[in-house]
Amino acid sequence: MSTMMKWESPLEVLDLSSNRLTGSFPNLTSQFQGLTTLKISNNSLEGNLPHELGAFSRLSVIDLSMNKFEGPIPPSLFTAVSIVSLNLSRNQITGEIPFQGFGAGELLAMTTYLPMESLDLSDNLLTGALTSGVGDLGSLKLLNLANNGLSGKIPSELGKHKGLEFLDL
């Protein structure tokens, strides 16, 4: 990663998947603000996911699956208007899914649903109920929340997803 910090042109795609990387999540400085795709799956990275990920305005694809990440999902990943695909499967992520991360002012300002089409949080340690906030992701085609500790009723807002093609709870 230190070599990339000296890179002169901004990166758009960063794929470090299947490289036996260890340690914590790399520090993505302002040089990485142009990223559209971030794939660091199938490594042994650990620690918490950085809250800054949701602030990268061009980032549309995030795949951090098959690592050892733990702790909660940063709510910013569910308010970012550019994220189309989020895969955090097969980690050790805990807590609730932060669908309720929207504030009333943010909801009023939104003219359309968030663009997320694919959300895979399967095979983690997530708990709590699936909240009505799942309805705010109206563009979903894939929703995989299998093999977690979720409880409660399936919210009726899930029915808003007319284009949903794959559902695994």
pLDDT 10s digits, 47-75:
999 888 888 889 999 999 999 999 999 99
Domains and CATH numbers, the chain: 2-168 (3.80.10.10)
In the block, residue with structure tokens 């999540």: 25
Per the model's pLDDT, the better-predicted residue between 100 and 148 turns out to be 148
pLDDT 10s digits, 12-30:
999 999 999 999 987 776 6
What's the whole-number mean pLDDT along residues 95-122?
70
Please tell me the predicted confidence (pLDDT) of residue 111: 42
% pLDDT > 70, the chain: 85
Distance (Å, whole) CA 111 – CA 113: 7
Please tell me the predicted confidence (pLDDT) of residue 100: 62
Please tell me the predicted confidence (pLDDT) of residue 44: 96
pTM of the complete model:
0.89
Q: Under 8 Å CB-to-CB from 61, ≥6 apart: which residues? A: 36, 37, 38, 39, 83, 84, 85
C-alpha distances in Å from residue 73, one per residue of 43, 57, 69: 19, 18, 10
